[in-house]
Amino acid sequence: MLKFLGFVVILAVLRGCNAQTSAAYLLQSHSLPTDRNFMPTLGNGHLGYTVYGDAIFMNGVYNGGSGNSKRARIPNWLNITTEVCDRFGCATDAEAAVNGTSYEMDLRDGYFRSRTTYNGLGLTLEQRTYPHKYYNRALVYEVVATRNSENAARANSPQFLRLSQHPGNASDAFDFVVVSNGSSASGDFRTIRGRTEILEFERFQPTPQEIYILFSQYLEQPLQLEWPTWQAELRHRIIICMDREQSVALKELQDVLQLSASSLLEKHTDAWHNFWNRDFSIALVGNAPELSQIINAGIFYLANSLPSLSTNQKNEPFYGLSPTGLGRGNLEADYQGHNFWDTEIWMLPVVTHFGFEYGKQLLDYRGRKLEAAKYNARSKGYKGARFPWESAYTGTEVTNPCCPEVAQQEIHISPDISFALQKFLAQSGDWTWVCEKAWPIAAEVAEFVVSRAACEEFRPVCHLLNVMGPDEDHPDVDDNVYTNAVSKIALEFAEWAGGYCGNDSTELFANWRRVNDRLVILHDTELDYHPQHAGYVVNTTIKQADTILLGYPLRYDLSNTHLNDLNIYAKVTRESGPAMTWSMFAVNHLTSKEEWVGHEYFERGYKNYVRPEFKVWSETPLGYEGSANFLTGIGGFLQAIIYGYGGINFVRNNDKISMIVSFGTVPLGVDEVQVNYLRYSHSTCRWVFSNRYSRMNCGARTGPDFYMVQGKKRTLLGRSFNVTLVKGDEPVHITF
């Protein structure tokens, strides 16, 4: 009994964080989604789960061979519910207040809670769950029961709490054994060891993966906590810690249990507050409360799958962002937790603004899997590195056996990664990183593109044959224009990076340049547009954004031809396409100063894709089957705000990088957008824009001075500067 009383605290501590949370960061509902897949997904880069779901997942832990590899499901022992009971039974929903239970996702504090008030019993029951952002091997469940009136302290008022665990079925991914049953007398903990059942690919994974799970308290059957009627409040917590190393999980649990419940929560909320206050946030001024919540929820769901940069113990290597995040991955709808081009093209441009270290963690995953990508190329008779369409633990191809043509033909993933390396350089200005990390990947990607290209013998023309572009409705086509364009960008970047980093292989560079110069970019001169692929017929329906990506993000063609592409492909993109498609139409129209069309596509890109209760994204519009917690759609949506409405971009021109700052505009109903913060080189910037002005405020403690280039005029700005644009001003380039 004394063991439980140690967790009794003043309820004000529990409510303190919530009281400070503004409506823009607090998602409240009195009902749950009919499809529980659209409950919030929580994570900390090491562990993740969906609230009330049956699975916990750990960064980088997969089970299954080749295309059957998927995130290894750990039963969700954190899925705990509490009832208030007395000797006659437990309280029912009928005894709750009129509105029943309130469910809250607190984005600013980083936790999910439910709160039930039983008016007739004079008490409130609160339950909270979260993966700790600082103690990131720890998952936390807390419950607080409070008597709300003096009349509640009577003989027949609730006398105990009953905690029950709902972990779901046994896992088919692990062989679990009990290492220790735990003993309160010895201070030991219930410890389980799990080994994955099936290797992904023995050449790159010779042994199973092993994890250890430690419980502060293990509920083999419902736990009964005595609650004397004279006691106003009762609080209890259960901590579960997991790691590949038993010693790491044990230290985490010991460190956590040394803290009071309020201190543990404060350490977690402080970490999230630091993210919102120092790393990244977007604030809207004006009458757009729902849009504000959707933006904040999108940032939160994207960020909580990333590694915490400040942790109690050193992080393990990160295994990338899958389309539905770290807390999902057991289902085909979750893409089994695999990594796609979604990481580099759709999420990385936003994640990099959270901080360059976040971006490096995503790109480092590709660097660590370079040898596997080279193996993938050799196994198909090619040179260089062919990154798989779907990648998991080993970096070899793990595309679902249902769809072999996707794995064989979507070769644009390799130049996509090279393109992302160049964009990261253009934003970070990290010249040391480009030679140590980017150049080795870019060189191998260029070698793959050259070996994959089919060059005609008697004409100066090269093709990429039998490919599939982003539009997966059209397999086995030749010269998909997106694939060819991003390949040309990758070849140019590899040649530049090689020269910059001191490689003097003129023959190698000449070979890359020859293919780059000759690689076909289809253009219909009569209609002045880019056919999506050889033989494409105008008005043929397509799945998603493909050719229009030549404008943004590739910046390959910004001419009138690009505007014609937008108009032609808008008419034929199917209604059931993924969310990020309409965001890309929005960005491209907004940056082309076609603002009203941009507004239309921007709203289309989120209004039919976000579930109302907790602002969780779906891959497809409501009414269609699709993935939940679709981070890819979130990435496209946030790019539409930052790069479309905000009008900024980052470019490399030989050995110079620059930030392009254009006069921005704002979504309908919004007076001003405040982006805190943009990362550019050695500075941190605040970007504020409206329909009347755009202001860039940047500051840096160290590094070279910045210059502003506008037309032929070059102005010294110094390390810290303010730039204001009004409507009609030409874009400026900030460089150094």
Tokens linked to 260: 């009071």
pLDDT at 182: 80
State the average pLDDT over residues 473-483.
98
pLDDT at 283: 98
Fold of the 2-9+24-282 domain: Beta-galactosidase; Chain A, domain 5 (2.70.98)
Task: In whole angstroms, give the CA distance from residue 40 to residue 659.
Answer: 35
Partners of 316 in the β-ladder: none
Helices 356-368 and 439-452, axial angle in degrees (round to 10): 50
3-state secondary structure of 559: coil
Confidence of residue 151 (pLDDT cuts 50, 70, 90): low
3-state secondary structure of 326: coil
Asked whether the predicted pLDDT for residue 186 surpasses 60, the reply is no
pLDDT at 626: 84
State the average pLDDT over residues 523-531.
98
Tokens 């009794």 locate to: 8
How much of the chain, in percent, has pLDDT values that exceed 90?
A: 87
Task: In whole angstroms, give the CA distance from residue 61 to residue 58.
Answer: 6
The dihedral formed by the CA atoms of 497, 500, 501 and 504, expressed in degrees to the nearest 10:
100
State the average pLDDT over residues 699-708.
92
Task: In whole angstroms, give the CA distance from residue 366 to residue 370.
Answer: 6
Task: In whole angstroms, give the CA distance from residue 238 to residue 165.
Answer: 11
For residue range 665-687, what is the model confidence (pLDDT) as tens digits?
Answer: 999 999 999 999 999 999 999 99
Structural domain spans, the chain: 2-9+24-282, 575-736
Confidence of residue 156 (pLDDT cuts 50, 70, 90): low
What is the DSSP secondary structure assignment for residue 143, as one 8-state letter? E
Tokens linked to 628: 């939940």
State the average pLDDT over residues 645-669.
96
State the average pLDDT over residues 556-564.
96
pLDDT at 624: 82
Confidence of residue 357 (pLDDT cuts 50, 70, 90): very high
State the average pLDDT over residues 250-256.
97
Pair 136, 249: CB distance under 8 Å? no
Asked whether the predicted pLDDT for residue 5 surpasses 50, the reply is no
pLDDT at 93: 74
State the average pLDDT over residues 273-298.
97
Task: In whole angstroms, give the CA distance from residue 595 to residue 691.
Answer: 11
pLDDT at 121: 83
Tokens 């419950």 locate to: 143
Task: In whole angstroms, give the CA distance from residue 732 to residue 42.
Answer: 40
On the question of a cis peptide bond just before residue 677, with omega within 30 degrees of 0, the verdict is yes
Tokens linked to 137: 């091997």
State the average pLDDT over residues 446-455.
98
State the average pLDDT over residues 517-541.
98
Task: In whole angstroms, give the CA distance from residue 505 to residue 499.
Answer: 9
Look at 115 and 18; give whichever has higher pLDDT.
Answer: 115
Handedness of CA 506, 511, 514, 515 (dihedral sign): negative
| CA–CA distances in Å: residue 517 to residues 243, 400, 484, 534 | 50, 35, 11, 19
Give the distance between the most distant pair of CA atoms in the chain: 97
CA angle 359, 360, 366 (to 5 degrees): 105
Confidence of residue 91 (pLDDT cuts 50, 70, 90): confident
Q: Which residues contact 491 (CB under 8 A, 6 or more apart)?
A: 446, 449, 450, 512, 513, 515, 516, 519
pLDDT at 500: 96
Confidence of residue 98 (pLDDT cuts 50, 70, 90): low
- Of 583, 629, 584, 628, the closest CA to residue 606 belongs to 583
Asked whether the predicted pLDDT for residue 10 surpasses 60, the reply is no
Task: In whole angstroms, give the CA distance from residue 279 to residue 147.
Answer: 40
pLDDT at 701: 82
The dihedral formed by the CA atoms of 145, 147, 153 and 154, expressed in degrees to the nearest 10:
-70
Task: Supply the pTM of this predicted model.
Answer: 0.95
Tokens 């998909």 locate to: 480
pLDDT at 155: 45
Task: In whole angstroms, give the CA distance from residue 82 to residue 128.
Answer: 11
State the average pLDDT over residues 704-717.
93
Q: Over the chain, what is the mean pLDDT?
A: 93
On the question of a cis peptide bond just before residue 415, with omega within 30 degrees of 0, the verdict is no
Asked whether the predicted pLDDT for residue 2 surpasses 80, the reply is no
Asked whether the predicted pLDDT for residue 446 surpasses 80, the reply is yes
How much of the chain, in percent, has pLDDT values that exceed 70?
A: 95
Confidence of residue 159 (pLDDT cuts 50, 70, 90): confident
State the average pLDDT over residues 28-38.
94
| CA–CA distances in Å: residue 566 to residues 427, 580, 592 | 27, 15, 10
Bridge-based pairing state of the strands 111-118 and 713-718: unpaired
pLDDT at 622: 83
For residue range 221-245, what is the model confidence (pLDDT) as tens digits?
Answer: 999 999 998 899 999 999 999 999 9
Confidence of residue 187 (pLDDT cuts 50, 70, 90): low
For residue range 106-130, what is the model confidence (pLDDT) as tens digits?
Answer: 999 999 999 999 887 889 999 999 9
Kindly report the number of other CB atoms within 10 A of residue 71's CB atom: 32
| CA–CA distances in Å: residue 50 to residues 152, 510, 532, 680 | 35, 51, 38, 34
For residue range 363-396, what is the model confidence (pLDDT) as tens digits?
Answer: 999 999 999 999 999 999 999 999 999 999 999 9
Instruction: Say which range, 67-76, 180-189, 562-571, 610-619, has the weakest mean pLDDT.
Output: 180-189
pLDDT at 87: 80
Pair 382, 452: CB distance under 8 Å? yes
